[in-house]
Chains A and B, each alone.
Chain A
Amino acid sequence: MDVYTIGLAGGMLLIILGIYGLTVKGNMIRLILSVEILTNGAIVVLVTFGATPLGVINPVIISLAILAVGVGGCIAAVGLAIVIQAFRHYKTLNVRELKRLRW
């Protein structure tokens, strides 16, 4: 197995894990974790495409990946902040019970 296959398969696995989490779970913190897993799967795929057979690293791709990791961290932070606020107001973490927030 070459590096592409491993990278793509790993990335795909992470993405599917993320979507599985989003599909099945109802707890908001678990949902945010799933989103993070999904994003990281996408980043793994991105880095895989940037890798060359000789092992030389493409700096553009790596810098983009670092940027994406940073943005992902910010998203998680904002998401958790919203979760805390929602929990304080409604005393629940279950998204099904928060359906009334839908417009």
Chain B
Amino acid sequence: MLPYAPFLVWVIPLVASALMPLAALNSRTRDIFPVLVGFTTAVFAFSMVPDVAAGPPYPNPQLTWLVIPGLITVNIGVIVDPLSVFMACVVAGIGSLILLYSIGYMAGEEGMTRYWFFMLLFIGSMVGLVVADNFLWLYIFWEMVGLCSYALIGFWYKRPEARKAGFKAFIVTRIGDVFLLTGIILVYLTTGSFAFKDLQGALEAFKVLPYTLSVVPFLMLIGAIGKSAQLPLHVWLPDAMEGPTPVSALIHAATMVKAGVYLMARTHFIYMEAAPEAWLTTLVWVGAVTALLTATMGLTSVDIKRVLAYSTISQIGYMMMGLGLGAGAGFIFLSQFHLMSHAIFKALLFLAAGILVHSFHGMRDMRKMGGLWRDAPVSFYAMVIGVLALGGVPPFNGFWSKDLIFAAAMETGNYAALAFAVVTAAITLAYGLRLIYLTYLGEKRSDEVRKAVIHEPAVMTIPLFILSALCFITGFTAEGFASFLGILGGHSHVVLHIEPLSAALSIIAIIAGALPIYLVYGRKSPPPERFAIGGWGFLQRMLSEGYYFDRFYYAVFVDGLKSAVQGFRKSHPGILNFNMSLILGGFIVLTLLLLTLGGGW
């Protein structure tokens, strides 16, 4: 471990973000400085791996932060255990590659200082979130991550859609955050401490769990649902595609949406003590239903980045499901392994798509693209590798991590969840291949695309090469990864083997997903247009509207609330003297009440 690495790993990007205005004095240092900071952070994060791999006891440096004598003492500190170090490595590692890519993608944009500031703040607060050892800091960083995502999604604030998308992301995640905060306050009131460690101790000390603590898991689950964009709070993530592509990659692969999965993994011991059955079932089904529904939405989307957004929601659903299945057996390794695979292939997919979106000046409609594989070879091959990994085709990492989730579902006997998982896997590969067929194969379908010149500068392709290589490698690290993380759950040896049955299911899912897409988009029999009419058409409209979730929320919470508030509009005439007279009247009434009732006190 480098000296003070557990603190420096998040302090460096936070301080560097504050220094951005200084670095921006020179346009060259402005772009190089944040990338260097990103890689420094990654070095610090990776330097903690050997210390943790050696096993417990894990360092947990603490200092006293807030003291009001006799009332409250808050110790803050960082925890260095396999889970936090793993997450820090994912965030800092993928984040630094994305920062490097941003140099190419964002070249010549306005407001770059703001962009770099929020990117560094984003990475720093996400790393802080995963290494914090108490709920209070976790919550502070949680909110900072939300703020950064708002600012970055709405980075092109001159576009009304971008502004709205940022706004929506902020408000929808806020709903989950309120529940999380309630949960944290309940934990504090019951145990008198914010630290995870103290809570664990308190849980063991209680003979009968207080009622408040058994509610906490569900409150926190809602918080995670909001942040990780699970049903029914998933509506913000597809709209978040209005932001620059590196931002989407960062939100989807490394930061933000992984925070919910991390929270669930970090605090799973509470749930196992408090309400194991109900909680595990909820988690598995939230994950399974989200995975399936959002995967089907991805099938009909025509926006290249929206397809990837839906696939993120669906893959996070997989992680939740993996956590629900694995935590029952006492280990969180399944979800984290899939998280790592997903972080790598989703960053790859977004950055590959970013090359196209960048060349077309923000045009993302796949109906206008096509036949681009010759013009953008690096992007094409990266996309193919990404889609195969996403769809769970061996030997890419997605296959191994999904296969373990299938195996876990089979072992726990949860065959309904297994069915959801397999169907989702088939649909996942289907929309991935559809994306490739529509964008890279066939003919170019619009003048805009024919005229565009596609640049693939080295700063944009190097991250793609690294991530593609990782897609091959990480799948085979399951064994080592399990012993790295498995210790956390008390299982020092987790037996990993590819079950023939689950592998067979994977193969079936691959065939079931790939064949229809090949027939429809490759052989054109039946042609894709057939699915826009009749019963298929109804289904297609429903899917492209996202099962009307968005419409419903707008009708009830936006327009409904607006019209309700307009009812009170008449009582606000805007005449200051009139308002003040009313205040004076209220004041007199209060005084009289106090004088008449005051004797009773």
Which A residues are closer than 8 A to B by beta carbons? 19-20, 22-26, 31, 95-96, 99, 102
Contact = CB atoms under 8 A, between A and B. Distances in A.
A19 B583 contact: yes
Contact of A22 (B572, B574, B576): B576
A23 B581 CA distance: 5
A96 B575 contact: yes
Contacts of B574: 99, 102
B577 A22 contact: yes
B67 interface: no
Contact of A19 (B572, B575, B580): B580
A93 B364 CA distance: 52
B575 A23 contact: no
Nearest to A99: B574
B578 to A, nearest CB: 9
Contacts of B572: 102
Nearest to A15: B587
A41 to B, nearest CB: 12
Interface residues of B, number: 10
A26 B579 CA distance: 13
Contact of A24 (B575, B577, B583, B587): B577
Nearest to B585: A23
A32 B68 CA distance: 38
B577 A26 contact: yes
A70 to B, nearest CB: 25
A84 to B, nearest CB: 18
B335 to A, nearest CB: 47
A96 B580 CA distance: 13
B584 interface: yes
B580 A22 contact: yes
B580 A99 contact: no
6 contacts: A22-B580, A23-B577, A25-B577, A26-B576, A95-B576, A95-B577
Contacts of A20: 584
A20 B577 CA distance: 9
Nearest to B591: A12
Contacts of A24: 577
B575 to A, nearest CB: 7
A26 B580 CA distance: 12
A25 B581 CA distance: 11
Contacts of B584: 19-20, 23
A31 B576 contact: yes
Nearest to A22: B580
Closest 5 pairs between A and B when the two form their complex, measured CB to CB: A102-B574, A22-B580, A23-B580, A23-B581, A95-B576
